[in-house]
Amino acid sequence: MSTHQRFAAAVTCIDGRIHESLRAWILDRLDVDTADLVTVPGPDAVLATGDAEGACRLANRVLVSHSAHGSTHVVLASHTDCAAHPVTDAEHRRHLALAATRLHSLLPEMEIVPVHLQQRDDGWQVVPPVSSDPEWERNDT
């Protein structure tokens, strides 16, 4: 028998505290069965301020999910209290926007979904970007 599973990919921090909430959000919001996780410490920093080699390495890992599992969306996740990228939430959002633009240029065939996870008393809340916010629009600098 064959069951066709629907996949999405995610580029996220290695921080294990956020994976459960992120995964649940992806399955719910993107209506998929499975989330393939590509993890790296501070992915928003790697993609916003890192070198081309590191960015390409990340993109190539996402491409495995795209080619093998047919993922069409890649969630790009930063989070509060990141050991690898200890900046304010506002700075995370700024880097996330830059990172999304860069990832889009490397993976033009995929839809990039940038999100930020905030730590709350009852766990981690996924905060997607507001679509009307021009900060999230693609702009090359």
Interface residues with Zn ion (CB under 5 A)? Answer: 13, 15, 82, 84
C-beta of 32 vs 98, nearer to Zn ion: 98
The two three-digit tokens of residue 29, written as one number: 């919001």
Position 34: which residue type? T
C-beta of 66 vs 79, nearer to Zn ion: 79
C-beta of 66 vs 92, nearer to Zn ion: 92
* Minimum distance of Zn ion from residue 35's CB (angstroms): 17
Rounded to whole angstroms, the Cα distance separating 19 from 12 reads: 8
Rounded to whole angstroms, the Cα distance separating 111 from 32 reads: 14
Nearest to 5 by CA among 29, 31, 23: 31
* Minimum distance of Zn ion from residue 13's CB (angstroms): 3
Phi first, then psi, for residue 3 (nearest 5°) are -115, 130
* Minimum distance of Zn ion from residue 11's CB (angstroms): 12
